[in-house]
Amino acid sequence: MFEEIEKIDEGKGFVAYDCDNVYFFCGEKGAVASDHEHDYPDVVFVIKGEVELIVGTETHHVTAPKKITIPPNIYHKFTALTDVIAVETKLD
């Protein structure tokens, strides 16, 4: 009935929890989820806080609550401008 949830280090200051096809992550101001990409569309729900989001060559200031859809195979990076809580999932 109960299972441990795997804790994953998501870069400098972000911590993620692997909840099957969904990742819950949080970070303190200044945390950075380093440049990365996926071979699937990535959907991030910023629940609390503000982030600087770099998608490809574009920089965005995102304030919660927001849903962000990032196309596949595009480099992206998150920097927490405040304490942040977010949920990430992938579209198949």
Q: What does the pLDDT average to over 35-45?
A: 89
Percentage of the chain beyond pLDDT 90 is 60
pLDDT digits (tens, 9 = 90+) for 65-91: 999 999 999 999 999 999 999 999 977
Residue 1 lies in a domain: no
> Total structural domains in the chain?
1
CB 41 within 8 A of CB 91: yes
What integer pLDDT is reported at residue 13 of this predicted model?
Answer: 85
Domain that holds residue 76: 6-90
CATH number of 69's domain: 2.60.120.10
In this structure, is residue 83 part of a structural domain? yes
46 domain-assigned: yes
pLDDT of residue 55: 94
Question: Does residue 51 carry a pLDDT above 90?
Answer: yes
On whether the CB atoms of residues 12 and 32 are closer than 8 A, the answer is yes
